[in-house]
Homo-oligomer: A and B are copies of this chain.
Amino acid sequence: MVKVVLVGTGNVAKFLFDIFSKHPQLRLVQVVGRNVKALNYFKTGTEVSSNFGDLKAADIYILAVKDNAIQAVSKELAIQDGILVHTSGSIAMEVLPENVRRGVFYPLQTFSGIPPKNRENIPFCIEAENEADYSFLEDLAKSISNSVCRISSEKRRQLHLAAVFANNFTNHMYFLASDICTEHELPFKLLKPLIRETYEKIMLQDPLDAQTGPARRNDLKTLEEHLLLLKESRHKKVYTTISESIQETYGKKL
């Protein structure tokens, strides 16, 4: 029975808690977090503590705290034995203290108040200093996901950056579309079937081939008209920058 301690009380910690507390081969022995109130969520499933120095013995300590807290919190942890991993996309494994067995256990997903669906498809990007620990992390990841891969810290940062485009920036495009709708008293829901189709196409087709629209066709007349229609300078700037990027992608010299 693998023993796990979870450090952190945010959305990633909750996600892992929900999985681990129902996992047949794991025993979640403790959740540790500074925020006493936030620990309530975890109380029903395991022991909790707000003292980083008061850790239970475990095979693995999973740090699910904010990126900028990883280094500081990891120094405070009194780990005797077991692997210490963090769950961040952009922080190097080497940020963890040298005197522990280090690794990374990064679920490539967006975690907000709403728990992610299709948990078993969330990719886990794994890294470890030695092969035995890597195998251990791989087995653990495979027991909760059908997509597990070995990714170095350097590549993981690039993957996380790509994820910013695929998730954060895509969401902002949805927002700008909804902003234009609101301004003109049009229901945003009219765009939802289009958003669905855009998503479904990309599951089957390379995004390079799936591109359509005035910038793709280098339809300068429509591009100009659209800029005239946009009132906010922020909208105009985004429109121009992305349109130019599309035009460059498809061979138009600007």
Q: Give, as a whole number of angstroms, the nearest-CB distance from A124 to chain B.
A: 10
Contact assessment for B238 and A117 in the assembled complex, using a CB-CB cutoff below 8 Å: no
Contact assessment for A174 and B180 in the assembled complex, using a CB-CB cutoff below 8 Å: no
Of the listed stretches A38-46, A76-84, A165-173, chain B binds A165-173
Contact assessment for B222 and A90 in the assembled complex, using a CB-CB cutoff below 8 Å: yes
Q: Give, as a whole number of angstroms, the nearest-CB distance from A80 to chain B.
A: 32
Asked if A109 is at the interface of the complex by the 8 Å CB criterion, the answer is yes
Chain A at the B interface: SS class: helix
Chain B residues within 8 Å of A109, by CB = 193-194, 197
Q: Give, as a whole number of angstroms, the nearest-CB distance from A109 to chain B.
A: 6
Contact assessment for A174 and B202 in the assembled complex, using a CB-CB cutoff below 8 Å: yes
Chain B residues within 8 Å of A195, by CB = 166-167, 170, 199, 202-203
Of the listed stretches A24-32, A93-101, A206-214, chain B binds A206-214
Contact assessment for A210 and B112 in the assembled complex, using a CB-CB cutoff below 8 Å: yes
In residues 96-155 of chain A, which contact B (Cβ within 8 Å)? 108-110, 112, 114, 116-118, 121-123, 125, 147, 149, 151, 155
Indicate which residue in B167, B176, B193 contacts A245 across the interface (CB closer than 8 Å).
B176
Known: A168-B212, A199-B195. A108 touches B190 (CB 8 A): yes
Contact assessment for B110 and A167 in the assembled complex, using a CB-CB cutoff below 8 Å: no
Asked if A69 is at the interface of the complex by the 8 Å CB criterion, the answer is no
Cβ proximity bits A170-200 to B, threshold 8 Å, 1 near / 0 not: 1111111110110111110011111111111
Chain B residues within 8 Å of A201, by CB = 110, 112, 114, 171
Contact assessment for A166 and B173 in the assembled complex, using a CB-CB cutoff below 8 Å: yes
- Can you offer 6 A-B residue contacts whose CB atoms are under 8 A? A109-B197, A121-B196, A158-B181, A165-B180, A169-B242, A175-B249
Residues on A facing B (Cβ under 8 Å): 67-68, 90, 108-110, 112, 114, 116-118, 121-123, 125, 147, 149, 151, 155, 157-159, 161-178, 180-181, 183-187, 190-208, 210-216, 219, 221-222, 225-226, 229-230, 234, 237-239, 241-242, 244-246, 248-249
